[in-house]
Amino acid sequence: MSDSGPERFAPWKRHRARRLALQALYQHQVSASSAAELEAQFADALDPARVETEYFSTLVRGVTASSEALNAHLEPVVDRGVARLDPVERAALWIGVYELEHRIDVPFRVVIEEAIGLVKLFGNETSHRMVNGVLDKLASRLRQVEKAAGRGGAGRRSASATGD
């Protein structure tokens, strides 16, 4: 197998990009770091052989630039209010809402499963239920056609077949 030619999409690289983006967005919340500062701080972890580096940058730049708009989507569906979310939950939800709104190439079910996986890994033991409910409600609003059609991929296991 040759390394030349177009690189094949690797869902696990995108998963790692989301994981690092969650960590960067957590850092953004506790230190008010800019997107450029976050990218510099995480540069050593962004090995292109292991991480979809451009996706990491897209998430970090997009979320930090639009966090107020993302919060506006979240506020009506988060029962305790966005300000009371812990930073891990907020970062995972920001990534999820950003992907639902701006990355229509990623099926909504993949977006939700990835966010759930992130909070299961970094959040408290019940965060995944809240994240699932919130993103499912927002998918109904932001991805009406896709959700109504029953599309959205069958989850992470089949993600490589669905483009993520």
The full DSSP string for the chain is: --S-SSPPP-HHHHHHHHHHHHHHHHHHHHH---HHHHHHHTGGG--TTTS-HHHHHHHHHHHHHHHHHHHHHHTTT-TT-GGGS-HHHHHHHHHHHHHHHH-TTS-HHHHHHHHHHHHHHHS-TTHHHHHHHHHHHHHHHHTHHHHHTT-S-S-GGGHHHHT-
Question: How much is the pLDDT for 154?
Answer: 46
Mean pLDDT value across residues 28-51 = 91
Question: How much is the pLDDT for 37?
Answer: 93
Q: Is the pLDDT of residue 156 over 70?
A: no
Mean pLDDT value across residues 3-19 = 76
Question: How much is the pLDDT for 155?
Answer: 45
pLDDT tens-digit series, residues 111-150: 999 999 999 999 888 899 999 999 999 999 998 877 677 7
Question: How much is the pLDDT for 127?
Answer: 92
